[in-house]
Each structure stands twice: as structure tokens, then as C-alpha cells.
Amino acid sequence: MATVYTDSDADLTVLKDRTVGIVGYGNQGRAQALNLRDSGIDVLVGCPPDAYRGRAMADGLAVCDVRDAAERADIVLMLIPDEVQPDVYVAEVAPGLEAGNTLGFASGYNIHYGLIEPDADVDVVMVAPRMIGDAVRSLFLAGTGFPCLVAVGQNPTGQAMAKALALARAIGGTRQGAFESSFEEETLIDLFAEQFLWAGIGGLCRTYFDSLVDAGCDPEIVASEMYLSGEMVEVAQAMIDVGFFKQLDLHSHTSQYGQLSRVVAALGGDLKERAARILDGLRSGAFAEEWTAEQKAGCPALQALKREAFGHPLNRVEERAAGRTAK
Ligand code: NAI
């Protein structure tokens, strides 16, 4: 059973007299900076001179270059895209870190795969909201907070977990409970969801659409049945409210029988082996190597995959549906 920490396990005074430097002011950076400030923490935003920096200034936060923020802060949170973090770390963050400082992440990726290797005298922590940035802010303001994972990567001061929990509490991450996790576990659950669950759902949806359109069904009616009607959202909400299987009672008996009896017909064969192969690629680091090489080459495969996806007939159906709805 995972250890779950709540507000009462986290002592905000650990952050008293410490400055938290937020590197990046995008999805997570803005939400976490504003939540920390509203929790009474001294916040400094480190950002290149771009539109994000303008937004931080408009929000009334102290803003400076990334290197200055790393030098002036005691705790530095890396809240820029994972793929730019290694270069920014080496060039602008590492030179500003001192022994006893803390380096924080909202994702396990770069530490788990060794793409960032902090000095041994720096605490390394992860406070990873299981929530998109906008909702990290809105759920903090609503008072409910959001689920969160916390982990310690390095602990030379002996205070790393206390700092991680204080950070989690200050952004609203211990209100519902923060799970103690690890950089590896966060990386696996996050990337395996993307590469198996979401890849699978995306592939199933495309095959559902193509099969019914080939069978003579109207593309717009098929797209409406699949997701444009919003029924999918209602079902997902019912899974949260009632239960993953218990929500079956909201469907007809024909639907219940069909859903439960055709799992193997739809997804049988070597699905488990395929899942294991994807997971192996994450555990061995093969995917991380492939993705790093892809980035270095300028992302040609990603661009080709996106061109193919945006060429799918579903895009034209959505355009027609939007035009019709707008009338
Ligand atoms: P983002 O794409 O919103 O980051 C934008 C910020 O990055 C801007 O301030 C921009 O100035 C800065 N930036 C971009 N390139 C830069 C560079 N080369 N040098 C310096 N600054 C640069 O990032 P997002 O989505 O907030 O992700 C940040 C971290 O949070 C990542 O580790 C991600 O995995 C994690 N995370 C993100 C979630 C989300 O809701 N998007 C959810 C949970 C974790």
C-alpha cells in the first residue's frame, strides 16, 4: 500500500525564509507559482524574454533570467518542457545551485533516464500533480486540490521529503492526499498511459470510424456516436462517480452483455505481450534513446505521424459538424 500524505503531514514552515525559483511560466509554472505565492511563499520566476515572461510580470510576480533565478533561489523547480530541461539545466541552472539547495521536478523523466545528473550535494525532489496546469490553479482556488505524487531522488540534507511535502501542500497537492512514489514509477505510469492506454484508445477510435464508414454509415453520425455527442465524457464522469464497472448499470442490458462478452474478440491475441513490449521499451530506456535521437534529428517522424493524423477523414467530419453547429 502506498503511503499517502495529507496537509497535516506537511509543514509549511520548512519553506519559511526560503525562495522558490520557478523555471518556466507555462502550464505548470504559472499555476504552481501563483499557488505558492497565495500560500505565502517567496516566489521568483525564471524565464527567457518571451510571452510567458510578460504574463508572469502581468500577474505581479518577480521575474528574472533563468540563471539569476537559479542563483537567488534556495529551491529551483524545473517547470519547462522535459525535452529542453537537460540543456537549460547544464547551461543556466547548475551554475547557480549551491550545496544544500533543492532541485524539483514535476515529472520523473529526466532524472530517471539520467538526462540530468545533479551534483550529489543538492536535494532532488519530485512534486508531480496528476492534473493539467489550469486545473492545478482552479482546483487550488476551489479548495479541493488535486492528486499528486511526491518522491525523493537525492537527500544530502536529510530534509528532502519535508521540502517536497511542503511544496506539495503549498500548491494544493496534499489536500486530497499525495502518494509517495519514485522518479521511475512516475515515468512508467505516465509514459505507459500515453503509449498503451491513449495510443490504444486512439487506434480503436480510428478503426471504429473506418470500419463503419467502409460499411456505408454516415461519417458524421459515426463521429457523433464516438465522441462528438459528449456521451464519452458522461461515461468517464460516471466511472469516477459510481465506479469503473458499476457504471455499467447506466447502460442497457444489451450494451452490458456486448461490452463484457466481446473484450477478447476486440482486443485478444497477443495484447498482453504487446503491452509488455511497450513497457520493456520504457524500463530499458530504449524509448528515451529513440525520442532523444528523434529530437536531435528535428522530429521528422513526429511531423510525419502528425501529417498522417491530420489527414484522417475525421478532421473533415469535425469541420463539417462545427460549421453546422455554428449556424
Ligand atoms: P510548458 O510547455 O507549458 O512550458 C512553457 C515554459 O517553458 C515557458 O515559460 C517557456 O518560456 C519555457 N521554455 C520553453 N523552452 C525553453 C528554453 N529552451 N529555455 C528556457 N525556458 C524555456 O511546460 P509544462 O507543460 O508546464 O511542463 C513543465 C513540466 O511539468 C514538465 O516536466 C512536464 O512533464 C510536467 N507536467 C506537466 C503537466 C501539464 O499539465 N502540462 C502535468 C504534470 C506535469
Q: What is the pLDDT of residues 225-277, one digit of tens each?
A: 999 999 999 999 999 999 999 999 999 999 999 999 999 999 999 999 999 99
User: In which band, very low, low, confident or very high, does the pLDDT at 212 lie, cut at 50, 70 and 90?
Assistant: very high
Q: Provide the pLDDT for residue 324.
A: 65
CA distances from 79 to 66, 97, 106, 174, 307 (A): 11, 16, 7, 19, 29
Instruction: Give me the percent of the chain exceeding a pLDDT of 90.
Output: 96
Q: Answer yes or no: is pLDDT of 325 > 80.
A: no
The response to whether residue 52 sits with its C-beta less than 6 Å from ligand 1 reads yes
Ligand 1 atom showing the smallest separation from residue 134 Cα: 40
* Distance in angstroms between the alpha carbons of the first and the last residue of the chain: 53
Ligand 1 atom showing the smallest separation from residue 66 Cα: 20
Helix, strand, coil fractions of the chain, as percent rounded to 5: 60, 10, 30
**For the residues 272-287, what does the mean pLDDT come to?**
97
Q: Provide the pLDDT for residue 283.
A: 98
User: In which band, very low, low, confident or very high, does the pLDDT at 205 lie, cut at 50, 70 and 90?
Assistant: very high
The response to whether residue 116 sits with its C-beta less than 6 Å from ligand 1 reads no
CA distance 160 to 154: 7
How far away, in angstroms, is 198 Cα from ligand 1 center?
Answer: 21
Ligand 1 atom showing the smallest separation from residue 105 Cα: 32
Q: Provide the pLDDT for residue 1.
A: 86
The response to whether residue 66 sits with its C-beta less than 6 Å from ligand 1 reads yes
Tens of pLDDT along 182-195?
999 999 999 999 99
For ligand 1, atom 43: residue with the closest CA: 129
Q: Is 161 within 8 Å of 155 (Cβ atoms)?
A: yes
Instruction: Give me the percent of the chain exceeding a pLDDT of 70.
Output: 98
**For the residues 3-22, what does the mean pLDDT come to?**
97
Q: Chain-wide mean pLDDT for the chain?
A: 96
Q: Indicate the pTM of the whole model.
A: 0.94
Q: Provide the pLDDT for residue 327.
A: 42
Q: Is 85 within 8 Å of 78 (Cβ atoms)?
A: yes
User: In which band, very low, low, confident or very high, does the pLDDT at 101 lie, cut at 50, 70 and 90?
Assistant: very high
User: In which band, very low, low, confident or very high, does the pLDDT at 320 lie, cut at 50, 70 and 90?
Assistant: confident
Please spell the DSSP secondary structure of 239-301, one letter per residue: HHHT-TTGGGGGS-HHHHHHHHHSHHHHH-TTHHHHHHHHHHHHHHSHHHHHHHHHHHTTSHH
Q: Is 12 helix (H, G, I), strand (E, B) or coil?
A: helix
Q: Is 115 within 8 Å of 82 (Cβ atoms)?
A: no
The x, y and z cell numbers of residue 189, run together, are: 505510469
Ligand 1 atom showing the smallest separation from residue 131 Cα: 42
Residue type, 108: G
